[in-house]
Structure 1
Amino acid sequence: MTKIHRQRDIIDRRAVMARLTELAGSDLNKMKRRAGVLAVFKEALNLGRIEVRRRFDQHGDGTQTVRENCFLIDQLVRIVHDFAAGHELPQNIRTSGEAMSLVAVGGYGRGELSPQSDIDLLFLTPYKRTPWHEQVVEYVLYMLWDMGLKVGQSTRSADECIRMAKADLTIRTALLEMRWLWGDQDLYFDLKNRYVNEIIAGTGEEFVEAKLAERDARHANMGDTRYVLEPNVKEGKGGLRDLHTLYWLARYLYRVDGINDLVDQGIISKEACKRFAKAQAFLWTVRCHLHYVTERAEDRLTFDVQQEIASRMNYTDHAGSRGVERFMKHFFLVAKDVGDLTRLFCSLAEEQQKRKPRMRLGKLLFLKRSNVDGFVIDGDRLNVSAPDQFTKDPAAMIRLFHTSLEHGIDIHPHALDLVHRNLKHVGSLRKDKAANALFMSILTSKKNPEVALRHMNEAGVLSRFIPDFGRVVAQMQYDMYHVYTVDEHTIQAIGILHAIEQGVLVEEAPLSTQIIHKVSSRKALYMAVLLHDIAKGRGGDHSVLGADVAMKLGPRFGLTDEETETVAWLVREHLTMSRVAFKRDVDDPQTITDFVTKVQSPERLRLLLVLTVADIRAVGPNVWNGWKGGLLRELYQRSEELMLGGMAAARDHRVKAAQAAVSRELIASGWPQTDIDAHLARGYPTYWTSFDTRTHVHHARLVRDAEQRHAPLTVESRIDSFRSVTEINVYTSDHPGLFSQIAGAMAVSGANIVDAKIVTLANGMALDSFWIQESDGAAFDTPSKLAKLSTVIEQVLSGRMRLDKELAARKGKLPARAHVFKVPPRVIIDNKASSSHTLIEVNGRDRPGLLYDLTAAMTQLGLQIASAHISTYGERVVDVFYVKDIFGLKVQHERKLEQIRDGVLKALRDPADSEAAAAQ
């Protein structure tokens, strides 16, 4: 227990009691006296908290702070109880049946209390509660509640506690940490002894299994990874609750009062104990900062508080990394350390509890152990054959993970502990051909390499074996797009690559599943996925720097010169395919020509597609969707067609082929030839090459129906569940600003536009297609929302709804943490990417109504928008517009281009930023 220095500076119990006694003896009426008593308590609590906070701000030690907070509450509870029993509800003679003990349970019983944590109290009574018990409990609780404290409480006898502890794991765990606080000590010790004899005795195995199952369920609920970028300090994997689990098992199994006692019993090493204390101190400090910054019981380390806490903990910016990134990297490394400790101890505890009496026959048991690749099977787990195995044969550390993966055998915690102790020998393996070959066998295994690589990473082997990978371990990507640290993202990407190869993702990624088996070099593909982000955080283009790393590592791992060059190219270009698919118009021949020029071969095209899919899916749970898959598939097919000579045919051939296909479908549907000819005449050549036959037929029916009804506006939706998108077709009279108005209407309706094609037909009508989603990437398919969208579009186009007013009401609807990220606004104008259009690429921070603002600005600049490609990466938006001037030509004049850049940049800037700057 941490010693509390200068206790009376936190709370002077005698002084407080003296003031209360004075109030009790006054002639105030009952209500005024209670108000005065409450004021004294509130003042004592407030002054105590101020002093504890002052000390924390001075020394920054969370371990000390949680003890001091606990001391403050201990004293207040005791004073409230004594005042109630001595002045408010006095009894001259108290029978033994009216004895009562106040017991702290849960985290409060452990003597640890964060600034905003709940207080768990047990009012322990003899076998029967009396009216006096009830009056005292009521007085104490109401006084604590009125002070503003959050109190969880129960009033029970020892019999009730034992009975409920047998039936409820939560109550059993809470009582495991019971601490006498005040009152009758005999009642407390009686319960404590009965708990040991009636609850703990003989139930160790049951408790271990239950707590480990509880831990696993909690991890699953929190995402089952310690590397999420907004981690939960308490409940997350590698957080305080995992340390608590270790503490509970230690107390339950070994009857110890603290982790230090496990060292004396030889259960864990001194070094492990120090790591436990260091990790706990760091996590307590972070949690105290979190509670003080948010002024509530917040345990999630969200983006909007990370910078503040990093600053308070003195993490400063260094070359190549920001202070907040260094702080979060430290957090993830501590979480990893917690994982190592709890995994080791929990496995040992689980194993010990499952031992049978026959296992005492050590020699006989040893003879029954089988040998697998130089290791032994110990209790169904892979263990070392000798304590010095890794010292004599360092390569055995790599072989341990290889054997575990290939034979599907878990690794014994003792073996993992020995690995950790021998990490200094891993460096010698970098030039060992056999060790490097073993690693390549792991990476390209037909079994799931993700499992072995994660174990190697958590054991610290991967970062020692590949120091470049070690640089990205716990490396956060500070934005709202990426969900995991770089190392976790990479390992998950390898698991996804394996799943694609095994056919597990055939519904989500059908093309990748098909072509991965046509890839010539599996080794190059798996190595490229491992290395694609390896140079992040180095202060340059990580793709270019990563290619250099690949050129260095390829020969080491036995790759041929050709394979090494392929890996380096894939790493350098791993973002190219997604950039082109999501930000360029694949119907523009120049887009495909430029992309194919860079890719050059069908083999590279196949490799790049599979790498891109694995990379995107590993960014986060909801990042990949059918829409993105469809865009990548379209780019792949167009590129493959050009490589194989299919696109070399004249464009008018494609136009005629499209028209012929539509004609056949419409004839089969019973259309007269005159109607078919009329419809074919409406579309310009670019229209016929921009959509597939199914869509052309759908448009034909929509247009004919609208023309027959003389409808001034038609709004129609098609839900595409496979691509997680809803297509909205708008057919109406064309006019300047139409795109902008529709974009505004969709923003008002809460729809996110992910792509758009703007078509003006020969009859002067606009046939505009928008593909929209919900904010979470799902299809915008709720009937009520679609109905509202149609109504809003009609109201906007008819002038009955003012977009500026409606959008202003939605301006502040971004998450608070989104404002943490500063995305510099940027406008890039490109006249080389298309032979027929000028491209305007816009980068900036997303906000409601942004697309409307941008397109309205372009309309005012006299631009015609032909297509728009919308990509959102967390808080950052990247929009690309294909535009022409009022004469239908590319914009070439430098002065006009500068005017466009300035106008779009003005629309891009967030009004909130401008207001904040003006206020300063």
Structure 2
Amino acid sequence: MTDSVEAQGHSYAAARLRLLNEEAQSGPPRRAALAALTDRWLAELATEAAAEAGAERWSLVAVGGYGRGELSPRSDLDLLLLHDSGRSAGAVAALADRVWYPVWDLGLALDHSVRTPDEALKTAAEDLKVQLGLLDARHIAGDSALTSNLRSTVLADWRNQAPKRLPALHELCTERAERQGELSYLLEPDLKEARGGLRDATALRAVAASWLADAPREGLEEARTRLLDTRDALHLATGRATDRLALQEQDQVAAAMGLLDADALLRQVYEAGRRIAYAGDVTWREVGRVLRAREARPKRRLLGLGRGAAAQPAPERVPLAEGVVEQEGEAVLALAAKPERDPVLPLRAAAAAAQAGLPLSPHAVRRLAAAARPLPVPWPAEAREQLVTLLGAGEATVPVWEALEAEGLVTRLVPDWERVRCRPQRNAVHRFTVDRHLVETAVRACDLTRRVGRPDLLLTAALLHDIGKGWPGDHSEAGEVIARDLAARFGFNAADVETLALLVRHHLLLIDTATRRDLDDPETVRTVAEAVRDTSTLELLAALTEADALATGPAAWSTWRASLLADLVERVAGALDTGSLPDAGDREPSAEEERLAIEAARTAGPVLALHAQAEPAAEGEEQPEAVGVELLLAVPDRPGLVAQAAGVLALHRLTVRAADLRSVDPVGEGPIALLSWRVSAEYGAMPEAARLRADLARAFEGSLDIEARLAEREAAYPRRRGITPPPPRVTVAPGHTSQTATVLEVRAHDAPGLLHRIGLALSATAVTVRSARISTLGANAVDAFYVVGKDGNPLPAARAAEVAAQVEAALR
């Protein structure tokens, strides 16, 4: 490399660094300035190199993102060296080396190729991605006619081949979306590859270049710019060429963009992703419509129907509802529709489209947004009925709701929606943002409407149950206030308003109680019965609980959780029907539990029963079924029992997914602990029952050093690096939770041996575990332990707080 080339490289690198550190310039101006700076350096470099190499008829062409002039701080330089002289092939190769090596020497990523125009066109015809890159070809240096001719030919070929190429492009976009997920709902979205990301925005530009269809323009460029700005800030924050907005970088990126926090950043990213994804849906539908029309023309000519416009019949319009018709696969407004005189028309059109399984025409939505009068408050009965009809359409509700959201109609109908729109949920269990989760819960509730007497209340509660997440504090308490206001706005009567407010306030009551409370404690049933008031509300709350969990994600619902919920609902329904509550200990052990307890009492040792249990994968998931085991253990009660049993399970690489512990005295010779565990293997097959029984017996007699064995295993398998989980937390449940015991709630990151460590910590405090409810939700353990003192009574408040602090300290 000559001194001149080195000097040029150093000068470019210094100017580039100044530009990237210049706080006053960011966004599109900085990207354009960086592209222009890079153009000047490469043009000077290539011109001097061509003169030295003796190359003839060449041009240096920027393609892809660089061709669009959109250089992010760590973007690749996509370059094509175009030449049209076979006699100077050696000179062209020398020219390429003199351009590529200085780029590499500066540590810049380079995607490069050297081709003749014919070679470039042939490659583009064979490779769709190459053709897409050439659509943005831009001349940098050399013979501009070469670049211009190539660009013109590529564009002409793209337009001529659009009927074949656009379906292939759509398939690429669909496959990528399936792999990468939707940008608008990911906690760590890929700004480029996810659905609604920068690649989809580029695909929409390619569709427009085909002259076959065009995307809805409003807000689209702003959305693309927002994602590019975010990627710029991400590159500067990490110093890497990354498109994934990881959790640990979000606060820094938000600060660089002048945003309040990471949630504000994600909300803007989600809004941009939705705008691009919605534009893509509309555009690809239009592409399909145009292509179908083109295919129909030759068939019409073969039938002798002529070529002219007069031979084209008007599209068929099928009535769907008052003012709404179906036309060419979309729900559109009827010619006689008067949105300015019909305030219910937006809801009627949306409900009709969803019920028919049709997309709502974007032109219709824009007209409704521009002309429809606001609904009176309270709403007329038809408006409320149409909202319920829309929510009850199942999966078809989602695209129609998104169409309404894209034009701001949802926030007009439900003003409080704005605070949850695109709001991230920083919980790995949740698949969706708050607003999409609410719609998804309504979709899931649709399948449960046959189980309740008031489907309208179920669907409305599903839509509103997390509406309080837009406000500080307990979202259930805030949501109760909002739900009461919105229900009155929707036109529900006073009694229904109170029911909806109750459902929102207590939408977590059943699942929290079923998984964290002792159902044999009469206070558990009493608390729930007093909260839900009557059986009709109970059935609504049970259905809402199931829909909410299904909409949350696979970790939030399972056959085990369903059985716990059903057990609780049955007990509460019985209490509400009879007006009485069972006394403590009324529930008799099952025949198998009684048999095991009697055998344990007679042998004074552990008795074990294993039952294979297959839990089906969540709906829509393709992973194989995870097979687990229900383990029933009966053993004479003793201090440290939970720790010992849990330790043995951990040694056998069994993960405790849920558990229940209680005490019985089957033969009047002392208490027998009954432990019911749902376990699954961390990997590999389940251990043999005989080995498990043997190790349990050794643990109970004290000949198995569980702590040492667990320590050996942990040392052999060091922890992987990852995000540091939040510290464990141990709290004392309110005194009214149980009248017979103190309830300690433990929340911690799930890990092998966690339950064993909790058991040891409890044993060290000299309390007795009367029963326990162990539950694993995703990566989090949420456990409740019913403990009593040496006198068999609940702990005094001060003592309970002391025990909680000791257990928390031990877990830290």
Q: TM-score, normalised by structure 1?
A: 0.75
Secondary structure (helix, strand or coil) at the match of 1:411 reads coil
Letter paired with 1:483: R
Contact kept in structure 1, 2:378 and 2:491, CA below 8 Å: no
Q: CA deviation at 1:531?
A: 1.4
- Report how many aligned residue pairs link the two structures: 782
Is 1:862 the counterpart of 2:766 in the alignment? yes
User: C-alpha offsets along residues 70-119 of structure 1, whole Å, 9 cap, x if unaligned?
Assistant: 344444544554565455xx34xx5x5xx433322222222212222333
Provide the rounded CA distance (Å) in 1 between the counterparts of 2:597 and 2:48. 82
Instruction: Quote the residue 1:608 is aligned against.
Output: 541
Is 1:395 the counterpart of 2:395 in the alignment? no
Provide the rounded CA distance (Å) in 1 between the counterparts of 2:253 and 2:437. 25
Instruction: Quote the residue 1:284 is aligned against.
Output: 228
Q: CA deviation at 1:284?
A: 1.2
Provide the rounded CA distance (Å) in 1 between the counterparts of 2:101 and 2:633. 63
Structure 1 residue aligned with 2:494, among 561, 580, 593?
561
Letter paired with 1:479: N
Provide the rounded CA distance (Å) in 2 between the counterparts of 1:654 and 1:125. 87
Secondary structure (helix, strand or coil) at the match of 1:882 reads strand
Instruction: Quote the residue 1:416 is aligned against.
Output: 365
Is 1:335 the counterpart of 2:273 in the alignment? yes
Which 10-residue stretch deviates more, 390-399 or 466-475?
390-399
Provide the rounded CA distance (Å) in 2 between the counterparts of 1:307 and 1:463. 28
Residues 541 and 65 of structure 1, relative CA distance in 2, 3 Å threshold? same
Structure 2 residue aligned with 1:546, among 479, 501, 505?
479
Is 1:881 the counterpart of 2:785 in the alignment? yes
Instruction: Quote the residue 1:380 is aligned against.
Output: 329
Instruction: Quote the residue 1:245 is aligned against.
Output: 203
Supply the RMSD in Å over aligned alpha carbons: 4.1
Secondary structure (helix, strand or coil) at the match of 1:783 reads coil
Q: CA deviation at 1:441?
A: 3.0
Q: CA deviation at 1:720?
A: 1.6
Provide the rounded CA distance (Å) in 2 between the counterparts of 1:745 and 1:132. 73
Structure 2 residue aligned with 1:63, among 3, 28, 31?
28
Which 10-residue stretch deviates more, 477-486 or 838-847?
838-847
Provide the rounded CA distance (Å) in 1 between the counterparts of 2:204 and 2:319. 32
Provide the rounded CA distance (Å) in 1 between the counterparts of 2:536 and 2:445. 17
Alignment map for 1:702-851 (pairs within 5 Å): 718-722=611-615, 725-728=628-631, 736-744=639-647, 751-758=654-661, 768-773=675-680, 780=682, 782-783=684-685, 798-799=704-705, 802=708, 805=711, 813=719, 816-819=722-725, 825-843=729-747, 850-851=754-755
Structure 2 residue aligned with 1:499, among 425, 429, 447?
447
User: C-alpha offsets along residues 743-782 of structure 1, whole Å, 9 cap, x if unaligned?
Assistant: 4565677654333344678588866443335xxxxx7563
**Structure 2: where are the runs of 5+ without partners?**
298-305, 617-625
Letter paired with 2:657: V
Provide the rounded CA distance (Å) in 1 between the counterparts of 2:391 and 2:457. 11
Residues 789 and 190 of structure 1, relative CA distance in 2, 3 Å threshold? farther
Provide the rounded CA distance (Å) in 1 between the counterparts of 2:661 and 2:8. 69
Contact kept in structure 1, 2:84 and 2:116, CA below 8 Å: yes
Secondary structure (helix, strand or coil) at the match of 2:556 reads coil
Is 1:51 the counterpart of 2:18 in the alignment? yes
Percent identity among equivalent residues?
25
Residues 873 and 76 of structure 1, relative CA distance in 2, 3 Å threshold? farther
Provide the rounded CA distance (Å) in 1 between the counterparts of 2:62 and 2:395. 50
Q: CA deviation at 1:288?
A: 1.1
Instruction: Quote the residue 2:190 is aligned against.
Output: 232
Alignment map for 1:234-633 (pairs within 5 Å): 234-253=192-211, 272=217, 275-316=219-260, 323-352=261-290, 354-356=292-294, 361=309, 365-366=313-314, 368-372=316-320, 373-386=322-335, 389-422=338-371, 425-426=373-374, 431-445=379-393, 448-501=396-449, 516-517=450-451, 519-633=452-566
Secondary structure (helix, strand or coil) at the match of 1:281 reads helix
Contact kept in structure 2, 1:474 and 1:485, CA below 8 Å: yes
Residues 786 and 607 of structure 1, relative CA distance in 2, 3 Å threshold? farther
Letter paired with 2:232: C
Letter paired with 1:857: A
Letter paired with 2:276: V
**Structure 1: where are the runs of 5+ without partners?**
1-19, 25-36, 255-261, 317-322, 502-515, 656-687, 774-778, 911-920
Is 1:155 the counterpart of 2:114 in the alignment? yes
Letter paired with 2:35: C
User: C-alpha offsets along residues 649-668 of structure 1, whole Å, 9 cap, x if unaligned?
Assistant: 8878754xxxxxxxxxxxxx
Q: CA deviation at 1:598?
A: 2.8
Residues 70 and 695 of structure 1, relative CA distance in 2, 3 Å threshold? farther
Letter paired with 1:172: Q
Provide the rounded CA distance (Å) in 2 between the counterparts of 1:636 and 1:815. 42
Q: CA deviation at 1:581?
A: 0.5
Contact kept in structure 2, 1:484 and 1:619, CA below 8 Å: yes
Contact kept in structure 2, 1:811 and 1:849, CA below 8 Å: no
Q: CA deviation at 1:579?
A: 0.9
Residues 67 and 653 of structure 1, relative CA distance in 2, 3 Å threshold? closer
Q: CA deviation at 1:179?
A: 1.9
Instruction: Quote the residue 2:302 is aligned against.
Output: none
Residues 797 and 475 of structure 1, relative CA distance in 2, 3 Å threshold? farther
Secondary structure (helix, strand or coil) at the match of 2:737 reads coil
Secondary structure (helix, strand or coil) at the match of 1:634 reads helix
Provide the rounded CA distance (Å) in 1 between the counterparts of 2:488 and 2:734. 39
Provide the rounded CA distance (Å) in 1 between the counterparts of 2:431 and 2:238. 22
User: C-alpha offsets along residues 523-551 of structure 1, whole Å, 9 cap, x if unaligned?
Assistant: 11111111111222222333233233333
Letter paired with 1:295: G
Secondary structure (helix, strand or coil) at the match of 1:390 reads coil
Q: CA deviation at 1:814?
A: 7.5
Provide the rounded CA distance (Å) in 2 between the counterparts of 1:868 and 1:904. 15
Contact kept in structure 2, 1:344 and 1:417, CA below 8 Å: no
Residues 443 and 426 of structure 1, relative CA distance in 2, 3 Å threshold? same
Provide the rounded CA distance (Å) in 1 between the counterparts of 2:173 and 2:194. 10
Alignment map for 1:648-687 (pairs within 5 Å): 655=588
Q: CA deviation at 1:788?
A: 14
Provide the rounded CA distance (Å) in 2 between the counterparts of 1:801 and 1:892. 29
User: C-alpha offsets along residues 838-859 of structure 1, whole Å, 9 cap, x if unaligned?
Assistant: 2112345666655444332211
Letter paired with 2:413: F
Secondary structure (helix, strand or coil) at the match of 1:238 reads coil
Contact kept in structure 2, 1:66 and 1:284, CA below 8 Å: no
Instruction: Quote the residue 1:125 is aligned against.
Output: 83
Provide the rounded CA distance (Å) in 2 between the counterparts of 1:784 and 1:144. 56
Which 10-residue stretch deviates more, 731-740 or 603-612?
731-740
Instruction: Quote the residue 1:6 is aligned against.
Output: none
Secondary structure (helix, strand or coil) at the match of 1:770 reads strand
Q: TM-score, normalised by structure 2?
A: 0.84
Contact kept in structure 2, 1:450 and 1:491, CA below 8 Å: yes
Q: CA deviation at 1:478?
A: 3.0
Secondary structure (helix, strand or coil) at the match of 1:756 reads strand
Contact kept in structure 1, 2:354 and 2:397, CA below 8 Å: yes
User: C-alpha offsets along residues 474-520 of structure 1, whole Å, 9 cap, x if unaligned?
Assistant: 1223333333211100100111112345xxxxxxxxxxxxxx43x21
Residues 753 and 175 of structure 1, relative CA distance in 2, 3 Å threshold? same
Provide the rounded CA distance (Å) in 1 between the counterparts of 2:772 and 2:594. 20
User: C-alpha offsets along residues 39-86 of structure 1, whole Å, 9 cap, x if unaligned?
Assistant: x6774564344223212x444x33233334434444454455456545
Contact kept in structure 1, 2:596 and 2:608, CA below 8 Å: no
